[in-house]
């Protein structure tokens, strides 16, 4: 039968293992190795013609037809056919023996999913009937749980059964109807951990699988698998513009020949223009032709929309003086909501209030030493606390305080410390600094890289993560970042708390001493069975440079200046990220030290590159066509850098580009999302953020990671394979590589909003 269909190459991230969500638990590792296996899964298109649908009524549903084979694994040629493993306390090796898949199990752990074999890369359509079948045997009598489950949240099963295995091969076959909403990215799991009541499964043994097949039995009632929403053809900053700001809209429908800006309250056109063929350009990262219209002359307070000649309209947006006040406040309160180790006040955190979490002592990895490292912010959608990204967040807050008068005076954001005479952003940053001080080893001066459980927590509230906290080993990058922010804090907090400033400076100097004895140490990698985030970084030169700069500013000791002057002659990674931090040092050097021509030149080179990138993007972003995990941080960081450079270089033109970084984040992008939760006309509602997932509502004020063309989670692979980088964003909690949130994505947003509001 005639049926249009496209083949979706489903990339199984095996060795790459960027992040693996699994049955009841999440496991992420950070190896950068390339993807190992590509399998093909057929996913049918939504583009089926009317004709074929009618003709085939009865055996064709939306996207699927009777007899479609979605999984067909035979393990010939010694190939595991894209099957993967997840462990949560168990131990096994996956391989192929004589054309059968073999789980060679040495420990079954404590949980039924302690050992898991899984397979991704297929979809389930609601109301479609399927048959799952496979052959299985084991070298001992033991239980197996097979299931197809949702691959995130509570990991509940769409179909599941527990069976008893023995040495005889059994052919298992199960029909089921997908009764829940269509799922583009479920997971087939074989749970081979420990099961009570089925004999002794603790002895080493092997379980063999063959002929694993998932087939469509009856597609007549099958409903569609929804893709991502169609973006608007006219995109603007959904939160609006300040009266005098530059205002651009991007149009992506090439049949448009003109536009008008309409005042929504009276329907009157306040600006209009034509779009001619020369106005159209190509954005390769979005894979779209676009035209830009400038309506900066619309300056009066009001609510507007841009309407184009085809009748399409942008979302409505305000123009006024206070358009960013609420989002600014919410983006700071998000950090309060991420606080760990103390009770969150309901009057601030609302539904996200909770009792003190993670209050137990942490064990220093590889020892019996228990240490109090309570406090600090949860990093992201997980509850890990990591020094490296924490330092970036603190620095961004302090820079916002230093560069914006409004922020420096604002003591009324509404956190518990508001009104205490210390600006709120400094209070908030101090919460992290106090924790960071506890992360320093009192003997060596080195700083522990992170404190997390061994694995990522399940989708639970912070108070319900009860796993033993472990302090991962000291790293140079954590110690360098620590030295930098502590030295800076010693300067900034002195007027508010001289004793704290002294403590910070002494800690920074001890950290610097550690660094002196550890030049050339290898970068951080996860120790033992720990699989939480690594914040791995190929170079620590930038961290050393930044630390030396802040210590020079704090102490005026020339030994630090000598270090800076020799470091900038070498290869340093300049950036404002968690990995590349060189510009933090360069900028503060320029602000504080008179003789800074070399540093100014470094800054100028950086922002001039951003300006070149700006010209390549139809939506104002300066990432140069790169859309990676956390691309929204890159956009926000670039906005910061442009503002910082405009100060140092005395050139206001950089500020316009900075404004467009904010505009991109708040809606002028090719997916039409205002990327901050709770704000804008189309806003992320399903962030990968455990508190939001458990409560079923997104915590407000969080900047999500955004477009990521590398498709680094199974959900993104399933729904974004046909899109180019700048459009690879999906608002789904399973997509941790597009839709997670972090403290250090919020902090450059806070800086931008502080400056531009």
Q: Which residues are catalytic?
A: 382, 688, 731, 740
Provide the token pair at 517.
Answer: 């004895």
Residue nearest to ligand 9MR (CB): 533
Q: How far is the CB of 358 from Zn ion (least distance, A)?
A: 3
Q: Which of 444, 452, 515 is nearest to 481 (CA)?
A: 515
Closer to Zn ion at the Cβ: 348 or 649? 348
Phi, psi at 78, each rounded to 5°: 60, 35
Q: How far is the CB of 706 from ligand 9MR (least distance, A)?
A: 11
Closer to ligand 9MR at the Cβ: 105 or 451? 451
Closer to ligand 9MR at the Cβ: 381 or 423? 381
Structure letter (DSSP) for residue 132: E
Which 3 state secondary structure label does DSSP give 330? helix
Query: How far apart, in whole angstroms, are the C-alpha atoms of residue 508 and residue 496?
Result: 19
Residue 189 near residue 117 (C-beta atoms within 8 A): yes
Closer to ligand 9MR at the Cβ: 19 or 238? 19
Residue 229 near residue 669 (C-beta atoms within 8 A): no
Q: Which of 520, 494, 511, 573 is nearest to 547 (CA)?
A: 511
Phi, psi at 205, each rounded to 5°: -160, 175
Closer to ligand 9MR at the Cβ: 18 or 285? 18
Q: How far is the CB of 126 from ligand 9MR (least distance, A)?
A: 30
Q: Could you give the C-alpha distances from 388 to 144, 308, 471, 477, 483, in angstroms and in order?
A: 42, 46, 14, 7, 11
Residue 668 near residue 236 (C-beta atoms within 8 A): yes
Phi, psi at 105, each rounded to 5°: -100, 125
Residue 22 near residue 29 (C-beta atoms within 8 A): no
Region binding ligand 9MR by CB under 6 A among candidate stretches 219-227, 338-346, 375-383, 667-675: 375-383
Q: What is the DSSP string of 246-270?
A: --EEEE--TT--EEEEEETTT--EE
**Binding residue for Zn ion, selected from 105, 462, 489, 704, defined by CB under 5 A:** 462
**Binding residue for ligand 9MR, selected from 89, 109, 375, 384, defined by CB under 6 A:** 384
Q: Could you say which residues in the range 329-388 bind Zn ion, by CB under 5 A?
A: 340, 357-358
Query: How far apart, in whole angstroms, are the C-alpha atoms of residue 224 and residue 698?
Result: 26
Count of residues that interact with ligand 9MR, criterion CB under 6 A:
12
Place of tokens 């933090």: 584
Residue 693's CB: how many other CB atoms inside 10 A?
A: 21
Closer to ligand 9MR at the Cβ: 580 or 726? 580
CA dihedral 382, 384, 387, 393 (to 10 degrees): 30
Q: Could you give the C-alpha distances from 35 to 11, 38, 39, 474, 628, in angstroms and in order?
A: 7, 8, 11, 30, 16
Residue 340 contact among ligand 9MR, Zn ion, none, beta carbon within 5 to 8 Å by kind: Zn ion
Q: How far is the CB of 687 from Zn ion (least distance, A)?
A: 18
Q: How far is the CB of 647 from ligand 9MR (least distance, A)?
A: 27
Q: Is 117 in the site for Zn ion (CB under 5 A)?
A: no
Closer to ligand 9MR at the Cβ: 317 or 736? 736
**Binding residue for ligand 9MR, selected from 317, 448, 574, 629, defined by CB under 6 A:** 629
HEC per residue, 507-543:
HHHHHHHHHHCCCCCCCCCCCCCCCCCCCCCCCCHHH
In sequence order, what are the residues at sequence separation of 6 or more whose Cβ sits closer than 8 angstroms to the Cβ of residue 560?
A: 548, 549, 551, 552
Residue 423 contact among Zn ion, ligand 9MR, none, beta carbon within 5 to 8 Å by kind: none
Provide the token pair at 672.
Answer: 């039409």
Q: Are strands 302-308 and 258-263 parallel, antiparallel or unpaired?
A: antiparallel
Region binding ligand 9MR by CB under 6 A among candidate stretches 142-150, 193-201, 374-382, 517-525: 374-382
Residue 129 near residue 58 (C-beta atoms within 8 A): no
Closer to ligand 9MR at the Cβ: 293 or 335? 335
Helix%, strand%, coil% for the chain, nearest 5: 30, 25, 45
Q: Could you say which residues in the range 432-471 bind ligand 9MR, by CB under 6 A?
A: none
Which 3 state secondary structure label does DSSP give 143? strand
Closer to ligand 9MR at the Cβ: 690 or 757? 690
Closer to Zn ion at the Cβ: 455 or 462? 462
Structure letter (DSSP) for residue 414: S
Q: How far is the CB of 381 from Zn ion (least distance, A)?
A: 13
Q: Which of 373, 342, 369 is nearest to 360 (CA)?
A: 373
Residue 358 contact among Zn ion, ligand 9MR, none, beta carbon within 5 to 8 Å by kind: Zn ion
Which stretches does DSSP call E strand in 192-232? 205-218
Which 3 state secondary structure label does DSSP give 145? strand
Residue 382 contact among ligand 9MR, Zn ion, none, beta carbon within 5 to 8 Å by kind: ligand 9MR
Q: Could you say which residues in the range 726-755 bind ligand 9MR, by CB under 6 A?
A: 736, 740, 742
Q: How far is the CB of 695 from Zn ion (least distance, A)?
A: 16
Q: Is 716 in the site for ligand 9MR (CB under 6 A)?
A: no
Provide the token pair at 452.
Answer: 């997390």
CA angle 94, 99, 104 (to 5 degrees): 25
CA dihedral 685, 688, 692, 695 (to 10 degrees): 100
Question: Which class for 127: exposed (0-12), middle (13-18), buried (19 or more C-beta within 10 A)?
Answer: middle
Q: Which of 135, 94, 97 is nearest to 118 (CA)?
A: 94
Closer to Zn ion at the Cβ: 336 or 629? 336
Q: How far is the CB of 386 from ligand 9MR (least distance, A)?
A: 7
Q: What is the DSSP string of 287-305?
A: TEEEEEEE-TT--SSEEEE
Residue 740 contact among Zn ion, ligand 9MR, none, beta carbon within 5 to 8 Å by kind: ligand 9MR
Closer to ligand 9MR at the Cβ: 30 or 411? 30
Residue 240 contact among Zn ion, ligand 9MR, none, beta carbon within 5 to 8 Å by kind: none
Q: How far is the CB of 740 from ligand 9MR (least distance, A)?
A: 4
Q: How far is the CB of 629 from ligand 9MR (least distance, A)?
A: 4
**Binding residue for ligand 9MR, selected from 112, 382, 427, 537, defined by CB under 6 A:** 382
Q: Is 380 in the site for ligand 9MR (CB under 6 A)?
A: yes
**Binding residue for ligand 9MR, selected from 23, 445, 457, 533, defined by CB under 6 A:** 533
Residue 201 contact among ligand 9MR, Zn ion, none, beta carbon within 5 to 8 Å by kind: none
Q: Could you say which residues in the range 630-669 bind ligand 9MR, by CB under 6 A?
A: 630
Q: Is 627 in the site for ligand 9MR (CB under 6 A)?
A: no
Q: How far is the CB of 375 from Zn ion (least distance, A)?
A: 9
Residue 357 contact among ligand 9MR, Zn ion, none, beta carbon within 5 to 8 Å by kind: Zn ion
Count of residues that interact with Zn ion, criterion CB under 5 A:
4
Query: How far apart, in whole angstroms, are the C-alpha atoms of residue 88 and residue 24?
Result: 9
Q: Is 30 in the site for ligand 9MR (CB under 6 A)?
A: yes
Q: How far is the CB of 349 from Zn ion (least distance, A)?
A: 13
Using CB under 6 A, list all residues that contact ligand 9MR.
18, 30, 379-380, 382, 384, 533, 629-630, 736, 740, 742
Using CB under 5 A, list all residues that contact Zn ion.
340, 357-358, 462
């Amino acid at each position: 039968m005639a049926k249009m269909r496209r083949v979706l190459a489903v990339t199984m991230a095996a060795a790459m293992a960027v992040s693996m969500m699994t049955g009841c638990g999440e496991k992420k590792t950070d190896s950068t190795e390339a993807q190992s296996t590509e399998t093909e899964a057929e996913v049918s298109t939504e583009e089926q013609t009317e004709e074929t649908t009618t003709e085939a009524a009865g055996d064709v549903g939306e996207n699927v037809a009777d007899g479609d084979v979605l999984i067909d694994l035979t393990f010939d040629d010694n190939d595991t056919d894209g099957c993967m493993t997840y462990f949560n306390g168990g131990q096994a090796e996956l391989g192929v023996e004589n054309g059968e898949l073999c789980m060679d199990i040495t420990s079954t752990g404590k949980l039924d999913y302690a050992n898991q074999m899984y397979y991704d890369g297929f979809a389930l359509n609601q109301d479609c009937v399927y048959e799952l079948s496979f052959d299985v045997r084991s070298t001992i009598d033991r239980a197996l749980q097979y299931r197809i489950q949702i691959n995130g949240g509570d990991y509940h099963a769409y179909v599941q059964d527990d069976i008893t295995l023995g040495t005889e091969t059994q052919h298992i076959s199960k029909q089921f109807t997908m009764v829940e909403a269509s799922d583009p990215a479920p997971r087939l799991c074989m749970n081979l951990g420990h099961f009570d009541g089925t004999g002794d499964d603790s002895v080493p043994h092997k379980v063999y699988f063959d002929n694993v097949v998932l087939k469509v039995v009856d597609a007549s009632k099958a409903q569609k698998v929804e893709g991502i929403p169609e973006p608007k053809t006219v995109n603007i900053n959904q939160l609006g513009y300040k009266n005098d700001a530059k205002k651009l809209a991007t149009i992506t429908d090439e049949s448009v020949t003109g536009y008008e800006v309409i005042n929504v309250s009276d329907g009157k056109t306040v600006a209009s223009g034509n779009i001619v063929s020369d106005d159209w350009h190509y954005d390769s990262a979005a894979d779209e032709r676009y035209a830009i219209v400038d309506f900066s002359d619309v300056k009066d307070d009001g609510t507007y929309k841009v309407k184009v000649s085809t009748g399409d309209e942008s979302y409505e947006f305000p123009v006024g003086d206070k358009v960013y006040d609420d989002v600014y406040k919410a983006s700071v309160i998000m950090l309060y909501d991420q606080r760990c180790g103390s009770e969150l006040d309901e009057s601030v955190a609302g539904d996200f209030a909770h009792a003190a979490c993670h209050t137990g002592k942490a064990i220093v990895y590889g020892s019996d030493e228990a240490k109090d490292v309570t406090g600090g912010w949860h990093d992201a959608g997980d509850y890990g606390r990591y020094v490296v990204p924490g330092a970036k967040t603190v620095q961004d807050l302090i820079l916002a305080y230093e560069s914006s008068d409004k922020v420096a005076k604002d003591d009324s954001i509404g956190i518990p410390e508001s009104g205490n005479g210390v600006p709120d952003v400094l209070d908030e940053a101090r919460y992290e600094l106090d924790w960071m001080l506890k992360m320093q080893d009192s003997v060596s001066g080195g700083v522990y890289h992170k404190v997390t459980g061994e694995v990522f927590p399940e989708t639970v509230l912070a108070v319900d993560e009860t796993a033993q906290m472990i302090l991962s080993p000291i790293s140079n990058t954590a110690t360098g970042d620590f030295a930098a922010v502590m030295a800076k804090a010693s300067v900034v907090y002195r007027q508010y708390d001289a004793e704290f400033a002294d403590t910070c400076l002494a800690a920074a100097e001890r950290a610097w001493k550690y660094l002196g004895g550890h030049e050339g140490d290898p970068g951080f990698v996860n120790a033992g069975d720990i699989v939480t985030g690594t914040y791995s970084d190929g170079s620590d030169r930038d961290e050393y440079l930044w630390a030396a700069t802040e210590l020079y500013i704090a102490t005026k000791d020339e030994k630090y200046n000598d270090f800076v002057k020799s470091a900038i002659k070498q290869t340093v990674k300049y950036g404002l990220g968690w990995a590349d931090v060189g510009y933090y040092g360069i900028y503060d050097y320029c602000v504080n030290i008179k003789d800074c021509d070399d540093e100014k030149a470094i800054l100028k080179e950086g922002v001039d590159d951003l300006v070149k990138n700006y010209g390549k993007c139809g939506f104002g972003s300066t990432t140069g066509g790169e859309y990676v995990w956390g691309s929204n941080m890159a956009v926000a960081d670039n906005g910061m850098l442009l503002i910082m450079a405009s100060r140092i270089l005395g050139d206001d033109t950089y500020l316009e580009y900075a404004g467009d970084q904010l505009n991109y984040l708040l809606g002028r992008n090719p997916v039409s999302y205002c990327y901050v939760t709770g704000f804008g006309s189309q806003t992320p509602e399903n962030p990968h953020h455990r508190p939001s997932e458990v409560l079923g509502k997104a915590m407000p004020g969080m900047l999500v990671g955004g477009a990521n063309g590398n498709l680094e989670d199974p959900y993104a692979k399933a729904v974004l394979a046909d899109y180019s980088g700048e459009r690879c964003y999906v608002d789904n909690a399973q997509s941790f590589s597009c839709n997670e949130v972090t403290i250090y994505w919020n902090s450059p947003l806070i800086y931008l909003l502080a400056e531009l509001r």
